[in-house]
Amino acid sequence: MTRVAAIDCGTNTIRLLVADAVRDEHTGAVRLHPLHRSSTIVRLGQGVDRTGRLDPEALARTLAVVREYAATCAGLDVPLNAEHARFVATSATRDAENRDEFVDGVRAALGIVPEVVSGEEEARLSFAGSLLGADDDGAPAAGPAEADRAGQEPAKQRNEATHGPRLVVDLGGGSTELVLGVDAPQAAYSMNTGSVRITERYLADGVTPAAEQAARAEVRALLDRAADAVDLGAATRLVGLAGTISTVTAHALGLDAFDRDAIDGAELSIARVLASCDAIVHSTAAQRESWGYLLPGRRDVIAAGALVWSEVVSRVAADTAAAGHPLTTAVTSLSDILDGIAISLLPAGAQA
């Protein structure tokens, strides 16, 4: 057993997972036993799409949380070294010309050097993390009340082709990763689009018909490029990760507050997902404030995130239909890049 700390620093949110990681000596499968999870919206990518630089206030907010995370790790006896802790920074830091200020600040606060990973590595880690939440058929495992959970599709209506490639979509603030594979990525593509980027480019003044049309046109063009690298029509399962998608799922399930057991593994019809996306895209500020599952720091960007997710879901549904095996559901997994970072710290030969 190895105690590890994983930190994922994205465009909108920074998260910490401290867990005991165990690799089965017979199967090689990894299991995480979480000890602590933290998630804080810091909006590190504020303005990066426009300026190409990390904003000083955003940088200060983020580094303050990093110092809190360092204290948490120390309190849980996690050695802050490269063997036990890994800090991964993604889209906003990749795009920032002053990323060295961020790297130096994290090193000073945490004692380890943060990795500014490529979109391809981000995709690989997301896929690896998503597998932790999958059952033996490659489907994200649901909680104990899976069969009776209100709002989900009956098992007989779900897609039966679970042994083929799964398309994992990690929708972030600045980038969206598409990864196709069974037990490992076969193809991956990182699109420079996400909830914060689309908000700042098109929806900062609200969702008008013209702004929505322009935003959708950009996402569709990016999906055309992604389809050249990833065969979206080959997917036999669609799995969505990260905050935007869990919010859409909470909306579709009619939850009053964030419920991890209800959201993780939830399988919803494509029609239901798209209906919730549309409701969120066109929601009012008062409606968003009333949703107990939507954090205040995500309220101003959730419309853009839902717009991106709706375009991805629609494109995958269309491409799989054209390939002769239409996907009719989408699944939400709360096992994601953070879990992938954690398991990457366990040596390949480590045993229980």
pLDDT value for 162? 53
Residue that the structure tokens 């419920």 belong to: 259
pLDDT band for 256, please (50, 70, 90 cuts).
Answer: very high
Say whether pLDDT at 138 is over 50.
Answer: no
| C-alpha distances out from residue 205 to 10, 288, 303, 306, Å | 23, 16, 12, 17
Q: List, for residues 25-46, the tens digit of each pLDDT value.
A: 777 778 899 999 999 999 999 9
- Provide the b/e sequence for 90-114 (b: ≥16 CB within 10 Å): bbbbbbbebbeebbebbeebbebeb
Q: Say if residue 171's pLDDT is above 80.
A: yes
Do residues 196 and 11 lie in contact, with contact meaning Cβ atoms separated by under 8 Å?
Answer: yes
Q: Which position has the higher pLDDT, 28 or 160?
A: 28
- Residues 189-216 have a mean pLDDT of 96
* Residue 295 identity: L
3 state SS of 12: coil
- Which of 178, 182, 179 minimizes the C-alpha distance to 165? 182
pLDDT of residue 258: 96
Mean pLDDT of 202-207: 96
Q: What is the pLDDT of residue 157?
A: 36
The more confidently predicted of residues 113 and 133 is 113
What is the sign of the dihedral through the CA atoms of 259, 265, 267 and 268?
Answer: positive
- Examine the pLDDT at 142 and tell me if it is beyond 50: no
- B/e letters for 248-265, b = 16+ CB within 10 Å, e = fewer, are bbbbbbebeeeeeebbbb
Q: What is the mean pLDDT of residues 107-131?
A: 92
d(CA 351, CA 21): 10
- Of residues 348 and 170, more confidently modeled: 170
Average pLDDT, the chain: 89
> Average of pLDDT values for 125-146?
60
Model confidence band, residue 133 (pLDDT cutoffs 50, 70, 90): low
Q: Is the pLDDT of residue 149 over 50?
A: no
Question: Which ranges in the chain belong to alpha helices (H)?
Answer: 48-51, 56-75, 91-95, 99-110, 119-132, 195-198, 209-229, 243-253, 260-263, 270-281, 285-290, 302-322, 337-344
Mean pLDDT score, 219-232: 98
Structure tokens at 88: 């991964």
For residues 79 and 204, give the distance between their C-alpha atoms in angstroms, rounded to a whole number: 42
pLDDT tens-digit map of 291-319 = 999 999 999 999 999 999 999 999 999 99
Cα torsion angle, 148, 149, 152, 155, sign: negative
Which residue has tokens 């013209």?
Answer: 210
pLDDT in tens, 44-68: 999 999 999 999 999 999 999 999 9
Cβ–Cβ < 8 Å for 183, 131: yes
Confidence of residue 91 (pLDDT cuts 50, 70, 90): confident
Residue 16 has pLDDT above 80, yes or no: yes
What's the whole-number mean pLDDT along residues 109-132?
A: 91
Q: Is the pLDDT of residue 140 over 70?
A: no
